[in-house]
Structures are given as C-alpha cells and as structure tokens.
Amino acid sequence: MESVVFIDGAFYLKREAKVSVFDHGFLYGDGVFEGIRAYSGRVFRLQQHLDRLYASAKALMLDVPIPPDEMADIVRESCRRNHLSDAYIRLVVSRGVGDLGLDPRKCAKATVVCIADAISLYPAELYARGMAVVTVPTRRTGTDQLNPRIKSLNYLNNILAKIEANSAGVAEAVMLNAEGQVVECTGDNIFVVRGGILRTPPPWVGILEGITREVVMDIARDAGVPVREEVLTRFDLWTADECFLTGTAAEVIPVVRCDERVIGSGEPGPVTVELIRRFRAFVQAEGTPIG
C-alpha cells in the first residue's frame, strides 16, 4: 500500500504530495522541523518535540496555523493511516507560499507537512562494532549568527560538514565552534566517557539540545553513571575511554575511532553498551499511544 503524507489539512498519496515552488521553505530554508520516533505503537517524547517545534517557530516569528494538541493528533493520525507502529515522523512547518523576495511578510500562511515512514540512518553493523568519525574544517555556525537551538530547515552548514565526512570515507563528522571546542556532529549530539564519567558539550558552545541527548543523560544518572556538561576539545575525543552519538534517527551509536585514533579498546565500551540496552528498553515502555 502506498504511503500518505499530510499537507495543510489533507492526506495525499506519496506520489501526489507536493508543495509550491514559491514556498519559502523551499526557496530559502525558512521554516522549522522535528524528527520524531514511534516505537511499538507509541510516539516517543511527542510533547517535548512539539514544545521544541513551537519554540523554534516563535524564534523565527513564524505563526504555526495549527495548535499543539491538533498537531499531536496529526502525528498520530499519520502513523495510523500508514499502518505504522514503529516509525520515523518528519513534522515540517515552512513560512509558506510567497514571492521570490526574502520578505516573510509576503507569505500569507505557513505550510504544515507531516511524513510518517521508516528510517535507517546507519548500517546495523555499526551499532554492534562502532563507527569512525573525523573532525572537519567546517565550523558550526555560531550562536550569534544562527542559534542552533532553532531547529530550522537551513542545514547547509551541516551538509557541508557531511560532505567532508563522505570525502574522508567515514559516516559522520564532528563539528567544532570558532574556538575549536567540540560542538556536535552533523545530525547527532556527542558524548565521551573517561574515568567512569559521562561528559557532553554544554548548550552554550552551540549545540542543538537533543531530546535523545536528554533521555540518555537521565538514563545514565539512573544507572549510577556521573554526568557532566563540560567543554570538550579534540584531545578529549582522542583520549576518551568510550564515545558515542545520540539523535532521534541515530538513537545511540558507538564511536570507536576519531581522526584515525582508536578510542579505548577499539570496540564499544561497557558504559556505551549498557546505555544502548537501557535506551532501547526505555523507548519501548514510554510514549503517547498512536491509538
């Protein structure tokens, strides 16, 4: 059965799902989005994702034409109509149709799109044996230029870094800020373990405050693992006992090599393995029922 996509109040077959070429999301990346997961018939952390979506829209002075409770229903209905109990959901709010100029006032109404489908961001074997990453020359856009807490449609900064990762023959790139501090990867937050302490960059260095990041920090504390938000440099990655990435699509994935340096034993470490196990159990037990 062909999947369906929600666009501005109606569901369309995938092959018929279209937005205008004059939409400012298409022309200028003017809009916001959320990537959301559903597990075993429940949408995981739906309220937190919606809170972030509406906060990002407010920062852009983008009026979302659908209230949050109705948006939640659209997410759940998208899963139901596509017969998905496990899904990746992409919720997009763009500025809407305007003219060829930049002025957002020319866009009368925002466009709302909800896609429910499957996703496999990384090959399954990388979750078992770990992945390699590189730090790249492309620096993360500064918070004084475009605050990364706004989850916008403009991902060119991340795409340039991803191109550099592709050129290096690895699956992911680690991005630094202008001061050379570790920020995040192109689509994931980053953690290291050293001396039994879990460490991750603080929000003020320029990260997107990931929802999976927050969940993993809570799970780690519950498991008795000390958690610290602190500034990291490449040295901290190279000399870590363990390293892993987190994200809605990626979930929790081990990193065993950075810039050709082997991390720890070269295999996923015990803290990482335990957090993956706990995370996978946690997402099966919590969430908003699809219904």
- Strand residue runs (E) in 121-250: 131-135, 172-176, 182-185, 189-194, 197-200, 227-229, 242-247
What the block records as the tokens of 264 is 């720890």
Q: What angle do CA 255, 261, 263 make, to 5 degrees?
A: 40
Q: What are phi and psi of 276, to 5 degrees?
A: -60, -45
- Where does residue 18 fall: left (phi above 0), alpha (psi -120 to 50 degrees), or beta otherwise? beta
62 vs 54: CA distance, rounded Å: 9
Determine how β-strand 172-176 pairs with β-strand 131-135: parallel
At residue 210, what is the residue type?
G
Report whether 15 contacts 77 (CB < 8 A). no
Active site includes 151?
yes
Q: Which of 14, 106, 151, 162 is catalytic?
A: 151
CA diameter of the chain: 57
What single DSSP character describes residue 3?
-
What the block records as the tokens of 190 is 């980053």
For residue 161, count other CB atoms closer than 10 A to its CB: 27
44 vs 38: CA distance, rounded Å: 5
Return the residue matching tokens 């992945």: 131
Non-local CB neighbours of 54 within 8 Å, separated by 6+ positions:
64, 68
Q: Which residues are catalytic?
A: 151
